């Protein structure tokens, strides 16, 4: 529960930071707004054609009684659109971060500078940063789909598909949404995507506390655009504490907005590549 509360707290801190820095808040809105318009158009088109897709995908039901045929195809159309919505939530952040990579990189750096210092730039060219981000996002999407696709078909199971499956879907989306958001600050530290996944797996509750509220909020039209700058800022704050030079995070106790604890081995890399604060750095 402590990690879960810590994740929510990081999300809140990030939103407060963005709102308190109006210039950077507006700076971070632009890529999210462009991506939102594209996704909204795609989902609207799918809603319009969902019934036709359902008829095409279920030819075996042509000979069924009209009532059962309508129920099956109606359920298929609804689940198809909900599956597309889930996929949109999973990919919205990745696409937005890719489109706005220079924007969010600068925003994330500014957050860390305001907290005491930013790790040194790895000195990679922009095209390499974009290529790395694209490859990492495709890897994350592939891992997410390994869970999302089975959940889609489990949605057809009575009762289970209307109760447990949606809850699991939100958790899957929240975890991988957090993974995408922390990638901005972790990539700056040279941490590969598989290592990021391992770190968050060790702190699932922390990732869910940060990501699930965002997933729920992203279901409301246009809210995703407004929350993206704060989400990137909150992820930078989360990574900063996870990768702290004094050994990272341990048992997950929240203290002064950070994550501390005792009795557990540190997670994630430590040392110059993973550190986030220069010696003597302080929070403002």
Which is more confident, 170 or 89? Answer: 170
Nearest 5 degrees, angle CA 196-CA 139-CA 268? 10
The answer as to whether 278 is a domain residue is no
Domain count of the fold of the chain: 1
Burial of 112-121, coded b for 16+ CB within 10 Å and e otherwise, reads bebbebbbee
DSSP, collapsed to helix, strand or coil, labels residue 257 as coil
The answer to the question of residue 74 being in a domain is yes
Let me know if residue 280 belongs to a domain.
no
pLDDT digits (tens, 9 = 90+) for 17-40: 999 988 888 888 888 888 888 888
Q: What is the pLDDT at residue 252?
A: 37
Q: Is 238 a residue whose pLDDT tops 90?
A: yes
Mean pLDDT of 170-197: 89
Which range marks the domain in which residue 185 is found? 2-260
Is 40 part of a structural domain of the chain? yes
pLDDT at 64 exceeding the cut of 90: no
Asked if the structure places residue 117 within a domain, the reply is: yes
* pLDDT value, residue 268: 40
In degrees, rounded to 5, the angle at the alpha carbon of residue 91 between the alpha carbons of residues 90 and 96 is 130
Distances (CA, A) of 163 to 79, 154, 159, 247: 14, 11, 6, 40
Segment among 2-11, 41-50, 147-156, 238-247 with least mean pLDDT: 238-247
pLDDT band per the 50, 70, 90 thresholds, residue 99: confident
Find out whether 63 and 72 touch, Cβ atoms under 8 Å: no
How many other CB atoms sit within 10 Å of the CB of residue 29?
18
In a domain, 44, yes or no: yes
**Rounded mean pLDDT of 118-147?**
76
Indicate whether 161 pLDDT > 80. no
Mean pLDDT of 185-214: 90
Query: Is 43 within the bounds of a domain?
Result: yes
Average pLDDT over residues 246-258: 39
- Residue 164 banded pLDDT, cuts 50, 70, 90: confident
* Residue at 71 is within a domain: yes
3-state class of 80 per DSSP? helix
């Amino acid at each position: 529960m402590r990690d879960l509360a810590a994740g929510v707290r990081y999300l809140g801190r990030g939103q407060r930071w963005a709102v308190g820095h109006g210039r950077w808040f507006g700076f971070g809105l632009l890529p999210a707004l462009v991506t939102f318009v594209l996704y909204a158009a795609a989902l609207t088109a799918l809603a319009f054609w969902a019934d036709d897709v359902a008829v095409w995908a279920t030819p075996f039901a042509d000979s069924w009684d009209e009532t059962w045929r309508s129920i099956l195809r109606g359920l298929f159309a609804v689940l198809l659109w909900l599956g597309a919505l889930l996929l949109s939530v999973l990919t919205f952040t990745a696409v937005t971060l890719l489109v706005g990579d220079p924007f969010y990189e600068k925003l994330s750096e500014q957050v860390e500078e305001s907290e005491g210092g930013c790790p040194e730039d790895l000195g990679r060219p922009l095209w390499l940063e974009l290529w790395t981000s694209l490859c990492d996002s495709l890897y994350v999407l592939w891992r997410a789909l390994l869970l999302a696709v089975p959940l889609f078909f489990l949605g057809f199971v009575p009762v289970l598909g209307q109760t447990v499956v949606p809850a699991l879907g939100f958790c899957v989306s929240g975890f991988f949404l957090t993974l995408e958001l922390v990638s901005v600050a972790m990539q700056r530290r040279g941490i590969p995507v598989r290592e990021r996944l391992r770190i968050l797996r060790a702190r699932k509750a922390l990732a869910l506390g940060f990501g699930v509220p965002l997933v729920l909020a992203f279901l409301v039209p246009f809210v995703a655009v407004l929350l993206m700058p704060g989400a990137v800022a909150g992820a930078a704050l989360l990574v900063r504490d996870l990768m702290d030079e004094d050994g990272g995070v341990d048992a997950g106790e929240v203290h002064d907005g950070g994550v501390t604890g005792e009795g557990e081995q540190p997670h994630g890399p430590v040392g110059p590549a993973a550190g986030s604060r220069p010696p003597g750095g302080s929070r403002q």
